[in-house]
Amino acid sequence: MNVKPSDYPILKAVRPKDFGKFTFPSHPKDMTVNAMIDWAEAIKNETLKPDKRSQPVPETQEGLVTELVGSNFYEFVTNNETDVFVLYYTTWCEKCN
């Protein structure tokens, strides 16, 4: 969940339905029971957007290939009426390029 020791104390959650990851937005001194309940309810009711580590969505998509990034991956792959083939690669791996 990408937490460093300098981030502690911290409150995080994962929604099992879509593996959405969430970070409690306030300083630990503001972690009251009511604030945590409201936060958990917002996650459950899907009114809170998950944290996403993502590149920006490309402004233009040309040709038959669509570049997917973290913030558009789930929507494109699961909410698409056509078959989707995803090629995973990374720019820093010589064998992937």
What integer pLDDT is reported at residue 41 of this predicted model? 95
What integer pLDDT is reported at residue 97 of this predicted model? 63
The larger pLDDT score, comparing residue 68 to residue 93, is at: 68
Q: How many domains does the chain have?
A: 2
Co-location of 38 and 75 in the same domain: no
Mean pLDDT confidence for 89-93: 78
CA distance 91 to 20: 25
Co-location of 73 and 94 in the same domain: yes
Interval 15-73: pLDDT, tens: 888 888 898 887 777 788 899 999 999 999 999 988 877 888 888 888 888 888 888 88
What integer pLDDT is reported at residue 1 of this predicted model? 63
Structural domain span for residue 24:
5-44
Co-location of 71 and 35 in the same domain: no
Residue 17 lies in a domain: yes
Co-location of 61 and 96 in the same domain: yes
Between 4-8, 33-37, 53-57, 78-82, the lowest mean confidence (pLDDT) is in 4-8
Residue 23 lies in a domain: yes
Co-location of 96 and 60 in the same domain: yes
CA distance 94 to 97: 6
Residue 49 lies in a domain: no
CA distance 15 to 13: 7
